[in-house]
């Protein structure tokens, strides 16, 4: 999408002529990169959003401080700058630390409750369609964590048939999602 635009040309247009369009192109080009880097750094969505905002500020600073005589690409300069800032924030502020053990227990309990509600909802739908193997798949594989091969052995069906049931159940869930 942005292959035709050279970073050096865009930076020149921004710094010398104040081109708003060049700034927007550079912003759009690195926006997804910053989002992915923030998500990679922390697993919590709210914390990743905060880091994303910090990353945008670093992008702005890098745009105005980058010089061609640094002998690195703008991408490398930006990556190192953002990575250093994220590391600094994580080290300085305990807010960015990984989720604590108690938080994990709460998350697991919440996820289990949501999973059970989802399974019961889709079981009702599959029962209405008289798809008993689909219901069993939800109970065994999704609910209890059984493998697909164990599901096939337990229900006396081939592995191929089990994969077809799995695909059917996933397609039904996607339709309603």
Domain with CATH 1.10.1740.10 in the chain: 7-96
Distances (CA, A) of 166 to 1, 91, 112, 158: 36, 44, 20, 12
CB-CB contact of 41 with 50 (8 Å): no
Confidence of residue 7 (pLDDT cuts 50, 70, 90): confident
Q: Mean pLDDT over all residues of the chain? A: 75
The 8-class DSSP code of residue 44 comes to: S
Task: Say what the pLDDT of residue 105 is.
Answer: 45
pLDDT tens digits for range 17-75:
888 888 888 888 889 889 988 888 887 788 888 889 999 999 999 988 888 887 888 88
Distances (CA, A) of 67 to 58, 74, 76, 121, 126: 15, 9, 13, 58, 62
Task: Say what the pLDDT of residue 34 is.
Answer: 92
CB-CB contact of 162 with 134 (8 Å): no
Domain 7-96 architecture = Orthogonal Bundle (1.10)
Task: Say what the pLDDT of residue 99 is.
Answer: 46
For the question of whether the overall pTM of this predicted structure is more than 0.75, the answer is: no
Distances (CA, A) of 61 to 47, 52, 172: 21, 14, 48
Range 69-92 average pLDDT: 85
């Amino acid at each position: 999408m942005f292959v035709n635009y050279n970073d050096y040309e865009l930076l020149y247009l921004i710094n010398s002529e104040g081109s708003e369009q060049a700034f927007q192109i550079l912003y759009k080009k690195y926006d997804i990169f910053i989002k992915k880097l923030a998500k990679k750094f922390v697993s919590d969505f709210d914390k990743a959003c905060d880091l994303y905002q910090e990353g945008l500020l670093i992008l702005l600073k890098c745009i105005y401080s980058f010089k061609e005589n640094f002998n690195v690409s703008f991408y490398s300069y930006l990556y190192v700058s953002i990575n250093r800032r994220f590391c600094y924030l994580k080290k300085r502020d305990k807010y960015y630390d990984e989720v604590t053990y108690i938080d994990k227990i709460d998350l697991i309990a919440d996820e289990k409750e949501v999973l059970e509600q989802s399974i019961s909802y889709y079981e009702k739908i599959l029962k209405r369609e008289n798809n008993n193997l689909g219901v069993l798949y939800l109970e065994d594989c999704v609910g209890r964590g059984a493998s697909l091969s164990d599901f096939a052995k337990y229900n006396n069906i081939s592995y191929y048939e089990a994969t077809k049931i799995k695909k059917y159940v996933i397609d039904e869930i996607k339709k309603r999602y």
